[in-house]
Amino acid sequence: MDKNFQRKDLLGIRNLSADEIKTLLQTADTFRDVSRREVKKVPALRGKTVINLFFENSTRTRTSFELAAKRLSADAVNISVSTSSVAKGETILDTAMNLDAMAPHIIIVRHGSAGVPHQLAKVSRASIVNAGDGSNEHPTQALLDAMTIKEHKGEILGLNVAILGDILHSRVARSNVHLLTKLGATVRVAGPNPLVPNDFCGLVNNGLTICPTIEDALENADVVMVLRIQKERMNDAFFPTMREYSIYYGLTKDRLKLAKSDAIVLHPGPMNRGIEIASDVADGSSSLILNQVEYGLAVRMAVLYLLSGGNENKEQ
């Protein structure tokens, strides 16, 4: 077991130390090669069982976790529950305890309600990995974003990172703010005022600023993260129309010029092209959106590996 990472669960970035984050990132680095080999498999988790329990739709995260488990030689089971626990007539705790009774080593949970992984972690023997809980956290996304940034910028310490869009509802923004400020970056957030509450500043003690405009946040940025606008939230009238959003808040080529010339652009996906991000930016030379997906696999292998206690067989 790695002495720098001894947790039962990975519930969020917020409660991790900078050292724990670094250990996760270093471990992820060592797993990158595995996916580039002809035989993309190591026996590190042989004999272990990993359950993917997804209560929300997901393509990339679920696939990424599944492949991560399989490339570590774990037995992986996928459960997609599109309906809520209430509609099913079984509570979420019952579902989790039934799965726990089958003695898996790790349960990966995605749920639309904040705190579900935390609630499950209290009752399950298996390690719980948060794969996104409501508007709370998405720790593996922040880790893969960090890995992407490190790969292209060397260090996270001292970087200016702009996070743009629906800050209020974004679990990606929360996990990233925690991770980036813990590792010494300066984070600036901006978006339509109803989606960027003032109290958001209180999320961390320092290193986080709310900017009045997208342009202010972009000024001199090393890294630009664009968040997905969720069409399903349009009913709540946070802004008038998608069209107007794209005009005033979308990341266009012109706006990107405000950032440093070597700035990189990230998006957690799935993208709304032409709304929060223009296609020529998404497909442009600054964009690392597909690299993020590749690093995601390595990060998830590292998470599963460290939570299962590590294993000497890793490099075989």
Partner 1 sequence: MKLLITNGHLIDPAEGQNSGKHLLIENGRVAAWLGANDELPTDIETFDATGLIVAPGFIDLHVHLREPGQEHKETIATGAAAAVVGGWTSICCMPNTKPINDNAAITRFIIEQSNRAGLANVFPIGAITKGSDGSELAEMGEMKTAGIVAVSDDGRPVPNAGMMRRALEYAKDFDLTVVDHCEDKSLSHGGVMHEGKMSLLLGLKGMPALAEDIDAMRDVLLSEATGAKVHIAHISTKGAVEAVRWAKSKGLRVTSEVAPHHFALTDEAVEGYDTSTKMAPPLRSREHVEAVLEAIKDGTIDAIATDHAPHHADEKNLEYDRAPFGITGLETAIGLAFEKLVHPGIIDLVRLVEMFSTNPAKIFGLEERGTLKVGSIADVTIINPDLEWTYDVNQTKSKSKNSPFHNQTFRGCAVATIVGGKIVYQR
Tell me which residues touch partner 1 (CB under 8 A): 14, 84-86, 91-93, 111, 113-116, 118-119, 133-137, 168, 171, 174, 197, 199-200, 202-203
**Residue 209 identity (one-letter amino acid):** T
The smaller minimum CB distance to partner 1, of residues 134 and 269, is found at 134
Helices 139-153 + 60-71 axis angle, to 10: 80
Cβ 234 to partner 1, closest distance in Å?
15
Cβ 111 to partner 1, closest distance in Å?
7
Cβ 230 to partner 1, closest distance in Å?
14
> Which token pair is 73?
């030689």
Distance linking the first and last C-alpha atoms of the chain: 17
| Distant-in-sequence, close-in-space partners of 116: CB < 8 Å, separation ≥ 6 | 55, 92, 109, 133, 134
> Which token pair is 27?
């471990």
Cβ 14 to partner 1, closest distance in Å?
7
The smaller minimum CB distance to partner 1, of residues 53 and 92, is found at 92
Residue in the structure block whose two tokens are 């703010």: 177
Whole-angstrom distance, CA of residue 27 vs CA of residue 146: 13
Whole-angstrom distance, CA of residue 29 vs CA of residue 27: 5
The smaller minimum CB distance to partner 1, of residues 13 and 44, is found at 13
Cβ 118 to partner 1, closest distance in Å?
5
Cβ 127 to partner 1, closest distance in Å?
18
The smaller minimum CB distance to partner 1, of residues 113 and 252, is found at 113
Whole-angstrom distance, CA of residue 54 vs CA of residue 9: 17
Q: Is 291 exposed, middle or buried (0-12, 13-18, 19+ CB in 10 A)?
A: middle
Whole-angstrom distance, CA of residue 182 vs CA of residue 316: 34
The smaller minimum CB distance to partner 1, of residues 44 and 120, is found at 120
Cβ 55 to partner 1, closest distance in Å?
9
The smaller minimum CB distance to partner 1, of residues 115 and 269, is found at 115
The smaller minimum CB distance to partner 1, of residues 116 and 307, is found at 116
Asked if 160 and 223 count as a contact pair (C-beta separation under 8 A), the reply is yes
